Amino acid sequence: MQTQPILTLEHVGKTYANGTVALKDFNLVVEPGTITSLVGPSGCGKSTVLRIISELGDLTTGRLTWQSSDSHKLAYVFQEAALMPWATVIDNIRLPLKLAGVPKREALELTSEAIAQVGLQGFERVYPRELSGGMQMRASIARALVTRPNVLLMDEPFGALDEMTRGKLNQDLLQLQHQRNLTILFVTHSIYEAVYLAHRVVVMASKPGRVVADIAIDSPHPREPDYRTSAQFNRYCRDVSHSLSAAMGESLALAL
């Protein structure tokens, strides 16, 4: 693994026009080829961090540094699949390539590759309304992968899914990350999901949003489903839970 970070946020602050301080002195170092989970109470700025990294939102203070121009090739997976209902699966997934002017033959090859990687073969001509929630999210992930990004930003993509579907997609995501050596920033409210997926779990507090704990998950990667029943997994979940509880208590005290 490379030792130079792919992405660094230093003393980042974000204040909105109405005076709300979303982030204050936020620091994060992201190593290439790793999964970093962001957890914290609602409103602590997890999604704001992703928006700043993706340049969908500006920072007010601080600095965002990329390792190189090549590393700054990212894709965003939102909380909802956001598929175009009038377009088939293959047309939804191919859309970023079409907008970028990629030749049709090359675009179809890349689209077919992404479809295979998320297990949607045979559903290319199906419309979103004919897919389950889990399959819609697979299509959304394929649409993100089709441009072959180095960095994948994922904002609670599995939050609305049932537990069995969520678990399967967690496993598939680990395999994708391993195969493509992706760098992933993954926002979730689930401590179990955060620990299972990540090399590191960053715990945030709110009012203002900031990092209060950065916990390395020193377990082999990618992980197998039975890791969830291990003593090591449970210990890491307790560590994250304690940090999150402390963060929520601290945030409440600051608000009083």
Domains of the chain (ranges, CATH numbers) = 1-73+151-163+181-256 (3.40.50.300), 82-149 (no CATH)
Mean pLDDT of 2-25: 90
Residue 254 clears pLDDT 50, i.e. is over it: no
Apex 255 CA angle, 251 and 256, nearest 5: 120
Distance between CA atoms of residues 249 and 228, nearest Å? 27
Q: Which residues pair with 54 in a beta bridge?
A: none
Nearest residue to 152 via CA among 192, 185, 188: 185
Residue 59: per-residue pLDDT? 93
| Contact residues for 181 (Cβ-Cβ < 8 A; gap 6+) | 32, 33
Mean pLDDT of 106-126: 94
**Paired tokens of 222:** 């990618």
Residue 255: per-residue pLDDT? 43
SS3 content of the chain, % helix, strand, coil (to 5): 40, 25, 35
Residue 24 clears pLDDT 80, i.e. is over it: yes
Residue 216: per-residue pLDDT? 97
Distance between CA atoms of residues 189 and 208, nearest Å? 18
pLDDT category of residue 71 using cuts at 50, 70 and 90: low
Residue 57: per-residue pLDDT? 87
pLDDT digit string, tens, across residues 196-252: 999 999 999 998 999 999 999 999 998 999 999 999 999 999 999 999 988 777 554
- Could you tell me if residue 197 is left (phi over 0), alpha (psi between -120 and 50 degrees) or otherwise beta? alpha
Say what the pTM is. Answer: 0.92
Nearest residue to 225 via CA among 197, 205, 253: 197
- What average pLDDT does the chain have? 91
Residue 253: per-residue pLDDT? 43
pLDDT digit string, tens, across residues 158-196: 988 889 999 999 999 999 999 999 999 999 999 999 999
pLDDT > 70 fraction of the chain, expressed in percent and rounded: 95
